């Protein structure tokens, strides 16, 4: 079952990035953020840090916050 997380993060040269990511398991938040990030979050980079991640109900996720891949994962069930 997919879970939604609001993730706040920083990286090289910026702070205050925020994304909504969908993952099956909380362990995969960093990888999902790396794939979706519009601000170059990189797993393993000493400058890339997740500041916080909060699970939110899927019913509160806006369609505009989803990537096409995430939308398709949700519709598959």
Instruction: Give the whole-angstrom CA distance, residue 2 versus residue 19.
Output: 16
pLDDT of residue 77: 62
The whole-number average pLDDT for the span 45-66 is 95
pLDDT tens sequence across 16-43: 899 999 999 999 999 999 999 877 899 9
pLDDT tens sequence across 61-71: 999 999 999 99
What DSSP string describes 24-77? SSGGGHHHHHHHH-SS---TT-TT-EEEEEEEE-GGG--GGGS-HHHHHHHHH-
Instruction: Give the whole-angstrom CA distance, residue 21 versus residue 50.
Output: 13
The alpha carbons of the chain give a radius of gyration, in whole angstroms, of: 12
pLDDT of residue 21: 96
pTM recorded for the entire structure: 0.88
pLDDT of residue 75: 86
Show the domain range for 34.
3-76
Based on the structure, what is the number of domains in the chain? Answer: 1
């Amino acid at each position: 079952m997919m879970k939604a997380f609001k993730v706040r993060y920083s990286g090289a040269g910026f702070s205050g990035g925020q994304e909504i990511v969908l993952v099956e398991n909380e362990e995969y938040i960093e990888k999902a953020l790396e794939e979706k990030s519009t601000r170059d979050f990189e797993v393993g980079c000493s400058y890339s840090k997740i500041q916080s991640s909060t699970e939110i109900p899927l019913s509160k996720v806006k369609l505009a916050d989803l990537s096409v891949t995430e939308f398709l994962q949700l519709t598959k069930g």
